[in-house]
Amino acid sequence: MKLRLLDFGGLTADQGWFLEGAGAATHTAQAPESIRRDLKMMGALIEHPKSGVILYEVGPAPNYKELWPEPVQDVFPITSYSDENQLEKQLEKAGYTAKDVSAIIIGHMHLDHAGGLELFRGTEVPVYVHETELKYAFYAVATKQDFGAYIPHYIDPSFNWKAIHGQEAQLFDGITVYLTPGHTPGLMALKVDTKNANPFIFTSDTFFFKENYQTPSPPGWLVRDMSGWWESLEKIQTLAARNNANIVFGHDYDVFAEYTKETYYD
Ligand SMILES: [Zn+2]
User: Ligand 1 center to residue 149 CA distance, Å?
Assistant: 9
**Ligand 1 center to residue 126 CA distance, Å?**
22
How far does the centroid of ligand 1 lie from the alpha carbon of residue 28, in Å? 33
Helix (H) or strand (E) holding 161: strand 160-164
138-177 residue pLDDT tens: 999 999 988 889 999 989 999 999 999 999 999 999 999 9
| Residue type at position 132 | T
pLDDT of residue 146: 87
How far does the chain reach from its first CA to its final CA, in angstroms?
6
33 alpha carbon to ligand 1 midpoint, in Å? 24
Residues of the chain under the 70 pLDDT cut: none
Categorise residue 140: left if φ over 0, alpha if ψ from -120 to 50, beta otherwise. Answer: alpha
Residue-level pLDDT at 132: 98
| Ligand 1 centre distance from Cα of residue 70 (Å) | 17
Q: What is the mean pLDDT of the chain?
A: 97
Q: What count of other Cβ atoms lies within 10 Å of the Cβ of residue 61?
A: 23
Tell me the whole-structure pTM to 2 decimals.
0.97
Q: Ion ligand 1 — residues with CB under 5 Å?
A: 112, 205
Ligand 1 centroid from CA 112, angstroms? 5
Helix (H) or strand (E) holding 58: none
Residue pLDDT, tens place only, 39-69: 999 999 999 999 999 999 999 999 999 999 9
Could you give phi then psi for residue 197, rounded to 5 degrees? -95, 165
Q: How far is the CA of 64 from the centre of ligand 1 (A)?
A: 14
- If you measure from the C-alpha of residue 60 to the centroid of ligand 1, how many angstroms do you get, rounded to a whole number? 9
246: CA distance to ligand 1 center in Å? 20
Among positive and negative, which fits the CA dihedral 141, 179, 187, 59?
A: negative
Ligand 1 centroid from CA 41, angstroms: 7
**Cα–ligand 1 centroid distance for 244 (angstroms):** 25
Residue 212: predicted pLDDT? 98
Spacing, Cα 251 to ligand 1 middle (Å): 7
pLDDT of the residue at 165: 98
Q: What pLDDT is stored for residue 147 in this prediction?
A: 81
Best CA proximity match to 72, nearest among 11, 156, 140: 11
